[in-house]
Amino acid sequence: MNAGVDPALMQALEQVLARMPDPAGRREAEALESELASVFGARHAVVVASGTSALHTAVVACGIGPGDEVLMPATTVIMTVEAVAATGATPVFVDSAPGGGGIDLKDLSAKRTHATRAILPVHLAGRTDGIHELAAYAQATGLRLIEDACQAQGSRTRGRQAGTIGHIGCFSLKDGKIISSGEGGYLLTDDPELAARAAAFRTHWHTPAPEAPAGSRLGLGLRLAEPLAAIARHQLAAFDDALARRRHQCRMLHELVDDTPSLVPNHPPDEQEPNGYSALWHLTLDRPRAFSARLAEQGVTNSVGTFGLRTAPEHPACRELGQNPCPNAARAVDRLLAVPFTARMDEEDLHQIAATIRREAAQWTS
């Protein structure tokens, strides 16, 4: 047994491996679906192979495909774009609101066409900016609202869980998420038809859905492996403690860094309770992207410097989509410092990160 691994988790994995192949089928995955629905207050949960699979499956479940358009924020990760494009639908990028607060509703409305079928907001860093306004807009226009909540497990807004405000919410179980199993994902919805279509699609349409009997449609093999489902169940049982730890880490790093010149803390509005996925600042120093890259070189993982976050219209892989830049989003991303956390970070690590940020900011501005 590996040092530091929970014996209860090892026992659960041993039991799963001992009965594979399991004639009872997906007992761990089905138990995980029941537990996820209960913890997050949704009627249905559908587990899949990854967060990207969850997004892809959700778009298909909403009946979206070739010839359709999906409105999404320009400030997003490439995986969200890939999930929509994989269905044959066209991602349409929407600029950020000039003063922050999520998607610019004026730009969104201008880009809605007869082909628009859904809005896909992305809750980066656990933030849910503008989700209620988008929900109202979707209801008024008859569009589907698909939430990318892959970074927002446990985030709340106006008392509601992120990923349960729209028609369907998508989550990731990849390493680094608050509930993780190495890889995996899941969807939450209160709509039984969407749940049935999602479950059918992720299993080659071997199961029926309304107006689509088993075997009547093409699907994919996007099932979550039983050992990974067992790991996710083990972590879900301790979710409240893990969520509290992330929020503590985020508060602590902000307390250590917020008085640093040229770093303006980006705190959430009162209606939001983010999950602490990342600490966020707006950089006012010169050449902010280069500064974020410098922090990455010094061991401070961050979205721009480490992972190269940029707006979707600026991403090389999106050039073939031929869309115009979104200037408000581009300026905001360039000046974003987002430092994510992991479960293994202790207070010594946070003090080291804070010291590096303060030192590098002082040297940069001088």
Residues in the chain with pLDDT values less than 70: 1-4, 24
What tokens does 62 get? 């909403």
What tokens does 176 get? 């680094």
Q: Kindly report, residue by residue over 97-117, the tens digit of the pLDDT.
A: 987 778 999 999 999 999 999
Q: Kindly report, residue by residue over 293-303, the tens digit of the pLDDT.
A: 999 999 999 99
pLDDT for position 6 = 85
Burial tier of 347 (Cβ tally within 10 Å: 0-12, 13-18, 19+)? exposed
Q: Which residues pair with 160 in a beta bridge?
A: 157
pLDDT for position 61 = 98
Torsion of CA 203, 142, 91, 324, to 10 degrees: 180
**144-148 and 116-119 as β-strands: parallel, antiparallel, unpaired?**
parallel
Distance CA 194, CA 14 (A): 34
* pTM attached to this predicted model: 0.95
Please tell me whether residue 76 adopts helix, strand or coil conformation.
coil
Strands (DSSP E) found in 229-353:
263-265, 272-273, 278-283, 336-340
Distance CA 142, CA 131 (A): 16
What's the number of CA atoms in the CB half-sphere (13 Å) around residue 347? 4
Instruction: Please state, in angstroms and as integers, the Cα–Cα distance from residue 304 to each residue in 23, 61, 143, 149, following that order.
Output: 47, 32, 32, 19
Q: Residue 281's closest CA among 293, 260, 266, 261?
A: 266
Cβ–Cβ under 8 Å, residues 62 and 194: yes
Instruction: Please state, in angstroms and as integers, the Cα–Cα distance from residue 285 to each residue in 124, 225, 282, following that order.
Output: 23, 46, 9
- DSSP code for 205: T
pLDDT for position 177 = 95
- DSSP code for 300: -
pLDDT for position 100 = 77
pLDDT for position 2 = 40
pLDDT for position 301 = 98
